[in-house]
Structure formats: C-alpha cells, structure tokens
Amino acid sequence: MTVTIYGAACSSTRKAKQWFTKNGIEYTERNVIREPLTVNELQSILRMTVEGTDEIISTRSKIYKDLDLDIEALPLQELLEIIQEYPRLLRSPIMVDKKRLQVGYHEEDIRQFLPRKTREHQWLQWRKNHLRVAEANR
C-alpha cells in the first residue's frame, strides 16, 4: 500500500520521507505549497481525523496569526477554501493511506504504517533485548 505525504518542504516532511524509505514503504509526495489540495481532498483527509480541522491546522503558523481566523465561527466550506488558498495553514506533513492518517512527524506514531507482522517482530526483538539487559544486571 502506498502512503501519500502531503506537506511543505520542511524538516518534518524530510524526516517522514527518510523513515518511509528506510522502512521500505512506498510513498508519493505532494508539496501542498506548489500544488494545493482541492476541497475534495481536504474533505477526504478530514473524514479520517478524530479532531477535525483542529488536527490539521497549524495554529502556530504565521499565516494563521496574520489571517486572524476564528475557525470555530467559519462554515466548513469557507474554511476549506481558505486552506486551499493558504496551504501554509496546514500542519506538515500529513500522511495518509487507505486506512490511516498521521499529522506531523512523530517517531512512535509513524510506526502505524508498518505492516503488523513487522511491528510485532520489532516489539518481540525489543522485549528480548530488554530481558537480556535485565538478566545481565542481576
């Protein structure tokens, strides 16, 4: 399954790409500054969120502060059009496949994109290593 990475050219997006490459997971990348997301694409991403627009909007970004948005008061369609016009409002990266979504690069959370068997194997290796360390410290 291919993961799509939506983002700007930033260190978090670079880290995500490196992680996917290192773990042999296919991905496609889309720079949302050069090629903004459509309203339909934004709606698809929002359907996968738990916290809605709060999850994908970068409230610490300069553009968010400059626009002085009250996102709670805006109709969703209008907000999506504003995001399309000002893609720097989005947190970066936003990574999606058919079943999963992750916003921002987090070393532990990104593991959700690993196949289950790989995650289980890594967990067993980690546990075995920690048991060895515990035995050695006795």
DSSP 119: H
Selection from 111, 113, 93 nearest residue 103 by Cα = 93
Catalytic residues: 10
Q: What is the pLDDT of residues 110-134, one digit of tens each?
A: 999 987 777 676 667 777 777 777 6
Which residues, at least 6 apart from 32, have a Cβ–Cβ distance to it below 8 Å?
Answer: 6, 7, 8, 87, 90, 92
Q: What is the pTM of this model?
A: 0.83
Number of domains in the chain: 1
Q: What is the pLDDT of residues 30-40, one digit of tens each?
A: 999 999 999 99
Q: Which residue type does 90 have?
A: L
Count of beta carbons in the 10 Å neighbourhood of residue 5: 21
In order of 53, 93, 94, 136, the CA distances from 2 in angstroms are 24, 15, 14, 42
pLDDT at residue 12, as a whole number = 96
Task: Write out the two tokens for 74.
Answer: 């805006």
Task: Write out the two tokens for 27.
Answer: 């991905």
Structural domain including 80 reads 3-136
The CATH number given to whatever domain includes residue 57 is 3.40.30.10
